Structures are given as structure tokens and as C-alpha cells.
Chains A and B, each alone.
Chain A
Amino acid sequence: MRPLTEEETKTLFQKLAEYMGKSVERLINRSDERHCFRLIKDRVYYVSESVMKASTSINKDNLLHCGTCLGKFTKSGKFRLHITALDYLAQYSKYKVWLKQSAEMSFLYGNNVMKSGLARITEDTPQYAGVVVYNLADIPLGFGVAAQTTDACKELAPTANVVLHQADVGEFLRGLEDDMF
């Protein structure tokens, strides 16, 4: 376990800023307890100070996780967000998308969201912005990337992609990534 270098922190914040914008600052400076980012074997964990101090007493080989796993760094240095980060993304997300009942299951199986399944979308969503996907009961289902801006979505055909799928809560059951957990 080690703290992140400057480069890694920058990459991480760039990724988070796509979804949360300025609210990343709220992750760093919290009112209750200070949280920090730690790296365990290329995975970034968002962990509170006390938990982090406690985890230092565990043997490095036996320590699997601590705190919340936000994602991992690939071999080429890029950062990939995992579904386990959904909690924080959903809390502070800037751009949201709501799905109809019919499209829910499709998204949970890993498909992109079509225009026919789109119920609501926040205004002024830029193209390729990070977007969190909710269902009509305001339960976060996952996150993705907006394929079009909000205005462009109105002129799309019903079968065109609106949100490109990146992660969804169905992955917990599907077990997509064998090394995720």
C-alpha cells in the first residue's frame, strides 16, 4: 500500500472530474473524517484515515482491500473506474440520466442505452461527458458516457445510442471482471 504519485493523482482526478466536476474537492476535504487515496497493487482505494492506519498493521501479502475501490490503473498508466465507485459518483455526479422501466434490464445486462429507453437527461450535457444512470425511482444503476449532447438527443432516431455503457450494478452478479473483487 502506498500513496499516489503526482502523476497518478492527476490521472485519477481527471477521470473523476469527468463525472463529478468540481465536487472532487469534496472527496478530499470532508467534514467528518479525512479520507485519502491509497494504491494496493495498481488499484486505487478511497479509505478513511483511521481505517488506513489500521490496515498498515496487516501483512502486505494478506491485505486485499481497504476502504472503497475506485478503480485501477492499467499497465499503460490509464485509470479505469470500477462499479464499486458508484456510491461516490452518484452522490456528486453532475450529469444524470434516468431510464424507463423497459430499458433498465437491458442496461443492467451491459448494453448501451437507446433513445427509446431514455426518460430524462440533465440539461447541457456535453458530448462524451461522464454520466450516472438512474432508474425512475432514483436508484443509481451504473455509469457511462453520454454519446450525444442533450440537444442532439432530441433529433436522434429511437434506436440510436444515447449513453455508452461503462459499468452497471449487474456486474456484481455477472462477475465480469474476475479480478475485480
Chain B
Amino acid sequence: MMLRKKQTKEDRGREEEEEEEEEEASSTSSSEVGRQESDDDNDDNDELDSGSEESSDAQLDVDATSSGEEEEEEEEDDDDEDDDDSDDGLEEEGRDNEEFESGDDADAVDGKNANVDDGNVRDSCGGEQCTFDLTNLLAFNTHQINIADLYRVGGAGSNHTKLKRADWYGSSPTIESSTTAGVGVVNESLLLAKAVEGTTQLLRELWRLPTERTDVGMLARLPTASAVTKLPRSLPPPPPKQPSKWEQFALKRGIVPQSKRSRKVYDESTGEWKHLTGSAANRANAGPESWPIIEVKKNDDPNQDPWEKLREEKRARVGKNTVGRMRNAERAGVLEKGSANRLVKDSARLEKQRAIMREKDRKRGLVAPAGVPTDMPGRGGGGGYGDGVGGTAIIRRGKPSTTLALKATQVSTASLGRFDRLREGEPERKGQLLKSINGKKRKQFDADIGGGGTNKNFLQSEARQSSEILNRVINGPSSKERERDVRKGKFAKGETAYDYDFDDGLGGGSFRKKKGRAGAGKMKKVTKKRIK
């Protein structure tokens, strides 16, 4: 930022304005001389304190040439790039400012003393102290303006000078019309004086910044962050996150996360560079799940599908992971307490149901056989198709098993049998892959209902069920049901089942009665002991 040159132009322009403005107020040559002399003289204040308006006005009247001389001097200093010279320049500027300010005050406040006490903070030179935002080169003058001075009632009389100099603005600053006759005309000179004051103060502040010398001249380093640019937080900051179980352990053990791993890894088997994640086919080091052949080890069951086994193991791992994450979230207060346990119980229950149904189907022989059946259920002790002669029984597949096998085959294509042409006499294909039991609710509203509950069987069963439910309602829940409800937390007075007054002696723990910020004030679990 080219401080000096910029300011030079501004100053010169302003000074010219001031000069023109004050031309009417006559300036004596003596004061001019005095002004010039003041460059080298440090006793300006004597002259400044003389109170007459005219003289003080005159002091403002800086000759363009004289100021130019000053500037030139400064520029020379610049060229020399000498520390002392720069200081001189500063000093001179300061002095200029002083004179401006006191002059301004005198002009603005109608001949009052420069050190007037109107409740505004004064800076060292007697002008109103502004606040600064140097990053944006702003100076804020937040002091109150005397309204009486701002509006000079009566119109043109006092502002005749301004009107004549209307050419600066390009047009008249105030509209002279019959409508504004009594309203009051804004005192432009006052505003201008304030602006000048603000600018000079700003420049003074800018000069105070740390400067550095470069080949283009003196540069000031603007502050990067100011109170104005940096807005305060509108919302409170989020609460610190609770570290998860692993994070705690890692912290304790001093385990630092590894350095970044590369995106692609060399895969030994195929000799290609593959990604670390993705499907088993495209992944590097995919493992046995992608192998077409898996050896049967000593402890393995030869009849079990090893790929199915791997898939089950993966599902178990994923489930464990999910539950662990939920537990971490519960600990952090993000998730409702008990949800991880609920998930575990639900999945356990569903798994049990599925296993039961699978067993039932298997017992009834309703399992679609995978591949060619080698062991058939039936008399005659296993294996093979006897010829019926000599005591060996012919073991036939039987119709149900065959139809099941056919159904399985029908959907055993890549598109699940959607686009395959039906053979002659082949029964319609149906999506039987999802035949597994989900729960009673399904049954009630599926084909069993028959026409939305018009089926006779359904109606009878409905009446029976309703009576049963009614009995339960009237006689109240059995003690076992009651216990179950209590355990589930139906009768808990607090927010969750964990609101019972149970103190396990391990201290408060991380229980929050309310989630998020709202829990901040209600952290303590209120127990009987605490009330007392």
C-alpha cells in the first residue's frame, strides 16, 4: 500500500478544498508565513491557542505550495530511505493534523474553545477520538453531533460559501426551495470537517502500523484480523465430542494413527494395482471369498458352504461394529440410552425366529435342495437309487421336493428368471425367495385375510382373538407381563428406563437427562439422596 503517495494526493486535494473554502475568510500573509515557519518550529501551539475564529481559520489555510513543499520533502526522504527522515515525515504529518483538527473544531463549533467538553472522547490533539478497523481502512466516529450545529435554520445565509463552491459536488449540496425554508439546511462544512478529522486520524493510525521497506517504497502491514471483521459467534460452540472406546484406549496406550495409505495397492494374485475397498472382485487382497475353490481344512464341516460361512462371519462382524458405534453414540449422549441393547435383542430374536422356521421347513422337507441331492430323506438308509430289487428301496424325490427344486431353478438365473422364456407345461414363476417369516403382522393383512377381512375363518378367529384380548384387558395384565412392562420401562417416571433410582456406586457417569445443549443445566440425575 503506497501510503505516502496516496495521502499526498488526498491531502493536497483536501487542502485545496480547505483553502478554497476559507478564501472568503481572509487569510493574512503573516499567518501564512507563520504556517511555513511552523515546519521547523515546534511552538505551533502558541499560535493555535489564539482564539479568534479568523486566525484559526487562517491557520487552516495551507498554501498549496507550502504543503507541496512539505510533501516533496517527505518524498525526498522516501528516496533516501533513511529511518530518521521517515520519522520527520511522520512528525510533520502529525503537526499538520494538529492544525487541521484544532482548526476544524474552531470552525465547527462556532468559535468555541478547542478543548470543549461535550462528553465526547478527545484524542491527544483535541479532536474526537475515532475507532478504527485498519484491515478495511475504516475510521468510525461514533460521537454525537450537536444538532444545533448540524442544522443551521434559516437557509442560504450561512451557507452562501458552500453554494458558490458547488462545483466540487457537481451539484448543489442542499436544495434551496421554499419547502426547506424553515427546516434547516445541513451544515456541510461541519460534516466535511468531521470527515477530514476522521481521515487524518485514520492516517495517523496507519502510520503507527509496522512498516517494512521494499523496493517500491515504504509499505505498512495492515492487521489481518480486527474486531469488526471478526464477528463473534452467534450460537454457542458445540460441546466437545466424547471420545469413543477405541479413541480412549488409543490415547491411553499412545497409539497414533498411521500415516496415510496409498489409494491403490499391488495385488499379488492378479499382478495388478487394485483399490483397497470395493467388491471382492475388484478389491486387492480380497481373500477366500473371491476364490473359486476353497480347501476343506481339518476342523471344517465338509457339507457347509464355505462362502456362506464367510458371509455369515462378515455379517456378524458388521453387526458387532454397528452395535459398538451405537454404544459410543450412547456414551456421547447423541443416541438414546438402551438403543444398542434393543438392537441386539431384536436381531437375536429375529435370528431365533428365522432359525426355527428354517428347522420347521427342513423337517417338512420343504427346503429347496442345492444342487444334485446325494442324500435323500427316507427309508432304506441313505444314498443312491436302488432298483427296488433285492431289498433296496427305491428312494424317489417325491412331488413336493421336485416342485421346490423346480421353483428354485426358475429363479436361479442372473435376472432371477424375469426374462427367461417359459417351457411348455412349466408352472408360472413366483418370487419365492422372500418366503421367510417376518412376524404375525404380515400374516394378518396378506392373503390369509381374504378380501379385507371378509373371510369367514378370519372373522371367527377375529372374534376369538378379540375375546382373548378383552379378557386380558379386564383381568389386567398377568404378573409376568407386568414385570416385562416394568423392565421395558413402561412405568418409568423419567425419560427413559434408566431413570430409576439405582446407584451402582460408580459415580455420576455420563448420564444426561436431556440431549444436546439442553442437558447442560440438568446434568445431575436427581435421586432421593440428592434431594435430601
Q: How far is the CB of A84 from chain B (nearest CB, A)?
A: 20
Bound complex: CA of A14 vs CA of B469, how far in Å?
Answer: 10
**Contact: A17 with B463, CB < 8 Å?**
no
Q: How many residues of B contact A (CB 8 A)?
A: 21
A1 proximal to B (CB < 8 A): yes
**Contact: B453 with A2, CB < 8 Å?**
yes
**Contact: A14 with B473, CB < 8 Å?**
yes
Q: How far is the CB of A62 from chain B (nearest CB, A)?
A: 15
A22 proximal to B (CB < 8 A): yes
B472 proximal to A (CB < 8 A): yes
B249 proximal to A (CB < 8 A): no
Q: A36-B462, A52-B454 are in contact. Are A10 and B469 (CB under 8 A)?
A: yes
**Contact: B444 with A52, CB < 8 Å?**
no
**Contact: A3 with B470, CB < 8 Å?**
no
Bound complex: CA of A28 vs CA of B462, how far in Å?
Answer: 10
Contact partner, B452, options A1, A22, A28, A37, Cβ 8 Å: A1
Q: Mark A1-34, 1 if CB is under 8 A from B, else 0.
A: 1110110011001100100011011001100001
Bound complex: CA of A9 vs CA of B467, how far in Å?
Answer: 10
A56 proximal to B (CB < 8 A): yes
Bound complex: CA of A29 vs CA of B465, how far in Å?
Answer: 12
B451 proximal to A (CB < 8 A): yes
**Contact: B472 with A28, CB < 8 Å?**
no
**Contact: A36 with B474, CB < 8 Å?**
no
**Contact: A22 with B441, CB < 8 Å?**
no
**Contact: A17 with B474, CB < 8 Å?**
yes
Q: A14-B473, A36-B459 are in contact. Are A3 and B453 (CB under 8 A)?
A: yes
Bound complex: CA of A19 vs CA of B160, how far in Å?
Answer: 94
A75 proximal to B (CB < 8 A): no
A53 proximal to B (CB < 8 A): yes
What residues on B are CB-neighbors of A3 within 8 Å?
444, 449, 453, 458, 462
**Contact: B467 with A56, CB < 8 Å?**
no
**Contact: B463 with A34, CB < 8 Å?**
yes
A87 proximal to B (CB < 8 A): no
B339 proximal to A (CB < 8 A): no
In chain B, residues 453-487, which have Cβ atoms closer than 8 Å to a Cβ of chain A? 453-454, 458-459, 462-463, 465-467, 469-470, 472-474
**Contact: A49 with B452, CB < 8 Å?**
no
B445 proximal to A (CB < 8 A): yes
Bound complex: CA of A22 vs CA of B467, how far in Å?
Answer: 11
Q: A3-B449, A5-B444, A56-B451 are in contact. Are A34 and B459 (CB under 8 A)?
A: yes
A43 proximal to B (CB < 8 A): no
Q: A9-B469, A17-B474, A22-B474 are in contact. Are A52 and B453 (CB under 8 A)?
A: yes
Closest to B472 in A: A10
Q: A3-B444, A3-B449, A49-B459 are in contact. Are A28 and B470 (CB under 8 A)?
A: yes
Q: How many residues of A contact B (CB 8 A)?
A: 24
What residues on A are CB-neighbors of B465 within 8 Å?
6, 9
A165 proximal to B (CB < 8 A): no
What residues on B are CB-neighbors of A36 within 8 Å?
453, 459, 462-463
**Contact: A5 with B454, CB < 8 Å?**
no
**Contact: A13 with B453, CB < 8 Å?**
no
Q: How far is the CB of A13 from chain B (nearest CB, A)?
A: 5
What residues on A are CB-neighbors of B470 within 8 Å?
13, 17, 24-25, 28
Bound complex: CA of A2 vs CA of B440, how far in Å?
Answer: 15
A38 proximal to B (CB < 8 A): yes
Contact partner, B453, options A24, A25, A29, A38, Cβ 8 Å: A38
Q: How far is the CB of A127 from chain B (nearest CB, A)?
A: 18
Contact partner, A25, options B441, B452, B458, B467, Cβ 8 Å: B467
What residues on B are CB-neighbors of A52 within 8 Å?
453-454
Q: How far is the CB of B475 from chain A (nearest CB, A)?
A: 10
Bound complex: CA of A14 vs CA of B471, how far in Å?
Answer: 11
**Contact: A13 with B463, CB < 8 Å?**
no
What residues on A are CB-neighbors of B473 within 8 Å?
10, 13-14, 17, 24
Bound complex: CA of A149 vs CA of B409, how far in Å?
Answer: 71
Q: A10-B472, A13-B473 are in contact. Are A29 and B467 (CB under 8 A)?
A: yes
Closest to A21 in B: B474
What residues on B are CB-neighbors of A29 within 8 Å?
463, 467
What residues on A are CB-neighbors of B462 within 8 Å?
3, 36
What residues on B are CB-neighbors of A6 within 8 Å?
440, 465, 469
Q: How far is the CB of A140 from chain B (nearest CB, A)?
A: 23
Bound complex: CA of A37 vs CA of B474, how far in Å?
Answer: 19
Bound complex: CA of A13 vs CA of B475, how far in Å?
Answer: 12
Closest to A60 in B: B452
Bound complex: CA of A2 vs CA of B462, how far in Å?
Answer: 12
What residues on B are CB-neighbors of A28 within 8 Å?
463, 466-467, 470
In chain B, residues 320-377, which have Cβ atoms closer than 8 Å to a Cβ of chain A? none
Q: How far is the CB of B463 from chain A (nearest CB, A)?
A: 6
Q: Mark B405-445, 1 if CB is under 8 A from A, else 0.
A: 00000000000000000000000000000000000110011
Bound complex: CA of A157 vs CA of B441, how far in Å?
Answer: 52
**Contact: A5 with B441, CB < 8 Å?**
yes
What residues on A are CB-neighbors of B466 within 8 Å?
9, 13, 28, 37
Bound complex: CA of A28 vs CA of B469, how far in Å?
Answer: 11
Residue contacts A-B, CB under 8 angstroms, 30 given = A1-B452, A1-B453, A2-B445, A2-B452, A3-B449, A5-B441, A9-B465, A9-B466, A10-B469, A13-B466, A13-B470, A17-B470, A17-B473, A17-B474, A22-B474, A24-B474, A25-B467, A28-B463, A28-B466, A28-B470, A29-B463, A29-B467, A34-B463, A36-B459, A36-B462, A36-B463, A49-B459, A52-B454, A53-B454, A56-B452
- Given A17-B470, A17-B473, A24-B473, 4 other A-B residues pairs in contact with their CB atoms under 8 A: A10-B469, A13-B466, A13-B473, A24-B470
The 3 closest A-B pairs by CB, nearest first: A3-B453, A13-B473, A28-B466
